[in-house]
Amino acid sequence: MVSKSIDNAFTAKAIRSAATDPTYAGALSFMRRKYSKTLKDVDAVVLGIPFDAAVSNRPGARFGPQAIRRASAIFDNDPQYPFSRDLFEQMAVIDYGDVLLDFGNHQKTPALIEKEAAKIIASGAYLLGIGGDHFVTWPLLKAHAAKHGPLALVHFDAHQDTWDDDGKRIDHGSFVCRAVREGVVDPTRSIQIGIRTHAPEDFGIRIIHGWEVEDMGAQAIADTILAHVGDRPCYLTFDIDCLDPAYAPGTGTPVAGGPSSAKALSVLRKLGALDIRGSDIVEVAPAYDHADITAIAGATVAMYMLGLRAEKLATRA
């Protein structure tokens, strides 16, 4: 034990080092990464966005960042499965903490999130957002598109989120509509996976419906995504309600008939060829969770996103 330390989120001496905290103790950051606002020499940044004022059903996703950080302690700093590597040996990752939002003035929320995200993106670091409801993806998309141009959207969800938007709504069900109309997302190269509700408009976005996900194997789903997006820079967003409620009960708008966490993770694992410029995991609402089922799924999705990034950086080294 003499070589071990605790509270790595504060005591870490290097941001490329593994942590040794016991799973059940220590300060909780995402995967025990050092809490820092310093972006110099950082490869990837985890940013919490505790916002849920845009939900159409059950609130509570403002507690999602806390729940995902807590659940991420289960990752014990051995080589992370299935990436067979210490993700942080070559990839410097920090937990940037949360965006400070004014709970009494939600109209300020998009600009506050976008400003924080833009600062991180300008540093050259990869940004992984932890929500929060799905509205938070809108300002994250804006910040990424400002640097990279219109992006293909790779969107795991039970909902299309293409309900009509007047450009001012604070609504987790219309951000895709706004992103398409404002030229932030290229609908011709975008794809949605797991959809099992109807919306009045699809904007020409390719959809793999929930029943198709059930009928297809993970490799076939991944191949469809890779073929459709191609080499276009893309943004990856994962609404935890893409999963069946059996695997993600802790969310605001659960819909039966979704994939298992195992199948969704298998698809994610096969997306390494995509040019992913940023990503997020949203809609984890721990008040409706059981035994951290949803939080663990959300934390694992986030870890896979970092795993794909670590592999990408390794190939460039």
| Within-domain flag for 37 | yes
Cβ partners under 8 Å of residue 166, min gap 6: none
* Contact call for residues 46 and 117 (beta carbons, < 8 A): no
| Within-domain flag for 1 | no
239 is in an annotated binding site: yes
**Average pLDDT in the chain:** 95
Interstrand relation of 191-195 and 126-131 (parallel, antiparallel or unpaired)? unpaired
Q: Which DSSP state fits 140?
A: H
| Within-domain flag for 3 | no
- Is-above-0.85 flag for pTM? yes
- Ranges 120-124, 163-167, 283-287, 290-294: which has the least confidence: 163-167
| Within-domain flag for 2 | no
What's 203's domain CATH number?
Answer: 3.40.800.10
Give the tens place of pLDDT for each residue, 71-115.
Answer: 999 997 778 999 999 999 989 999 999 999 999 999 999 999 999
% helix / strand / coil in the chain, to the nearest 5?
Answer: 40, 15, 45
Which has the closest alpha carbon to 311: 123, 121, 59, 84?
84
| Within-domain flag for 294 | yes
161 is in an annotated binding site: yes
172 is in an annotated binding site: no
228 is in an annotated binding site: no
In terms of residue numbers, what domain contains 195? 8-316
How many domains is the chain partitioned into structurally? 1
pLDDT recorded at residue 13: 86
Kindly state the average pLDDT of the residues 303-309: 98
| Within-domain flag for 107 | yes
| Within-domain flag for 298 | yes
241 is in an annotated binding site: yes
- Ranges 18-32, 101-115, 212-226, 296-310: which has the least confidence: 18-32
More confident position, 16 or 139? 139
pLDDT of residue 184 exceeding 70: yes
Q: How confident is the model at residue 1 (pLDDT cuts 50, 70, 90)?
A: very low
Give the tens place of pLDDT for each residue, 119-178.
Answer: 999 999 999 999 999 999 999 999 999 999 999 999 999 999 999 999 999 999 999 999
159 is in an annotated binding site: yes
